[in-house]
Amino acid sequence: MNVIKTKILLISSSAKTGGGPSHIFLLNEVLKNEFDFYLAMPEFKQKIRGFDNKKFLKIAERKISIFDIIRLIIFSRKNSIDIIHAHGKGAGLIARIIKIFLNKPLIYTFHGIHILCLNKLKKYLYILYENSTGWIDDEKVFVSSSEKKQAINTKIFIGKNNRIINNSTKNMLLYKAEEEKNNLKIGIKNQKKNIISICRLVDQKNIFEIFEIARYLQNYNFIVLGDGYLFDKAKIYLKFNNIKNVYLYGKKNNIYKYLYESDLFLSTSLYEGHPISILEAMSIGLPIVASNVTGNIDTIRDKFSGFLYKLGDINDAINCIERIMKNSKLKSRFSKNSFSMHRELFTTNIMKKSYISLYKKFS
């Protein structure tokens, strides 16, 4: 006997590498046996993983289009969508508009409250927008405790129907901290130890702080994976400042190839929702050094799985890195703790149970 599955439309207004799109694909992968997922997002450079053409609708990148709104309403009605789940600010606006016409339950996941990079006017308008339209959501999802706290402190309307569901990543094999690395595997001809960062090259990720740290730590390689609008500016900056120990590799599909050849993960973000790149590093047991900001503080336990440093304090970041890299016992302990924290808190099984509970509320 065929069981009729609840049909869920996932919406993202961005197909760029990052938490939202990665989270969407993982949701479909781990919950496809329980729910029937459909996807609306800009065209992805890779194949739309796990979605056939009949279940995918291409929409504009970070732009609200009346044409897209009409197509989404038709697409939803044609496929008898039961629940709308929006991921990120742009998708939230689109979803709130189509909900008015469809009268279907709407779940909205923030994936970071992006106000630190806004000027006063844009920040005011964003908060005004959330407070004037947020009542349309049937449930709000925060991906970390500090993200919810930030929303409250910013006086964003969150209502009574909200919950925290941490992001997650797949379980990977524990990397061996003492094992000798082979930099030739990742295109580096020297045998220095590697410090890795995986992020979009955008203002939020504060990548120039990575470069400044690298300038003072010439005895290590700094690997940066990811693309974004700051990529060309980053290359010019490194050349102008004669920083030769940073390797800008762009977007890579097999990030674990680089993670397993690294010794430490570095995040310099201004803020996060709940950083998937750090979770990926923790899934193999890399020790972490990260800025002491929203999202990061829910992921790393200071002095247990790594160090949290004061954002903007280059000397503090350097000191944290050196303490780990020059102390094999500390590095090994942080590595094991990073790995165990991932298994305890951030696995796909934990996330799966939380989303089954959420979706069944509206089924």
- 293-348, pLDDT tens digit by residue? 999 999 999 999 999 999 999 999 999 999 999 999 999 999 999 999 999 999 99
User: Which CATH fold topology does 183-345 show?
Assistant: Rossmann fold (3.40.50)
Lowest-confidence segment of 8-22, 57-71, 258-272, 340-354 by average pLDDT: 8-22
Inform me whether the pLDDT recorded for 50 exceeds 90.
Answer: no
> Of 70, 116, 62, nearest to 87 (Cα)?
62
What confidence tens digit (pLDDT) does each residue in 71-107 have? 999 999 999 999 999 999 999 999 999 999 999 999 9
Confidence of residue 20 (pLDDT cuts 50, 70, 90): confident
* C-alpha distance from residue 336 to each of 112, 176, 196, 202, 316 (Å): 28, 10, 18, 31, 23
CA distance 225 to 5: 38
3-state secondary structure of 308: strand
Inform me whether the pLDDT recorded for 47 exceeds 60.
Answer: no
Q: What integer pLDDT is reported at residue 2 of this predicted model? A: 66
Q: What integer pLDDT is reported at residue 17 of this predicted model? A: 60
CATH topology agreement for domains 7-168+348-361 and 183-345? yes
Listed by start position, the domains of the chain span 7-168+348-361, 183-345
What confidence tens digit (pLDDT) does each residue in 62-71 have? 788 999 999 9
| Alpha helix ranges (H) inside 103-230 | 120-133, 145-153, 207-216
The arrangement of secondary structure in 7-168+348-361, i.e. its CATH architecture, is 3-Layer(aba) Sandwich (3.40)
Q: Report the percentage of the chain scoring pLDDT > 90.
A: 87
Using the 8-state DSSP alphabet, how is residue 302 labeled? B
Q: What integer pLDDT is reported at residue 338 of this predicted model? A: 97
What is the pLDDT of the chain when averaged over all its residues? 93
